[in-house]
Amino acid sequence: QSVLTQPPSASGTPGQRVTISCSGSSSNIGSNYVYWYQQLPGTAPKLLIYSNNQRPSGVPDRFSGSKSGTSASLAISGLRSEDEADYYCAAWDDSLSGWVFGGGTKLTVL
């Protein structure tokens, strides 16, 4: 059971916009930044969004993040086949003194 809650799966057709939610609590999302990671099959996770809504250089602006209270979301617009991957949200948890992750969302591009 993950500390952060994500839907296990999401899907969309090419060109569509999809969103992935991430729910936490006051000790993690509510008081710290949210990060999103993309894990393509067979590879290491890659930082996609940091500090709630910032994109590292090289990440397309089709990816965006937002946070409100103890929840966050990742939006992917103009969906492409290469976006098919697992997506994880994460935040530092002040009560646990450690990082907490969501269980991951498997995105399928139909």
Partner 1 sequence: EVQLVESGGGLVQPGGSLRLSCAASGFTFSSYEMNWVRQAPGKGLEWISYISRSGSTMYYADSVKGRFTISRDNAKNSLYLQMNSLRAEDTAVYYCARGSGLGYWGQGTLVTVSS
Q: Residue 74, interface with partner 1 (CB under 8 A)? A: no
Nearer to partner 1, 40 or 78 (CB): 40
**Among positions 19, 27, 30, 47, the unique one binding partner 1 when judged by CB under 8 A:** 47
CA diameter of the chain: 41
Stretch in the footprint of partner 1 (CB under 8 A) among 20-28, 63-71, 76-84, 90-98 = 90-98
- Which residue, chain included where needed, has tokens 């969004």? 49
Stretch in the footprint of partner 1 (CB under 8 A) among 21-29, 42-50, 66-74, 75-83 = 42-50
**Eight-class DSSP state of 44:** -
Task: Check: CB of residue 34 under 8 Å from CB of residue 52.
Answer: yes
- Which residue, chain included where needed, has tokens 């057709």? 13
Q: Residue 104, interface with partner 1 (CB under 8 A)? A: yes
* Residues whose CB is less than 8 angstroms from the CB of residue 33 and which lie 6 or more positions away in sequence, other chains included: 50, 51, 52, 67, 91, 92
Q: Residue 25, interface with partner 1 (CB under 8 A)? A: no
Q: Which residues bind partner 1 (CB under 8 A)?
A: 2, 33, 35, 37, 43-47, 50-51, 56, 86, 88, 90, 92, 96-104
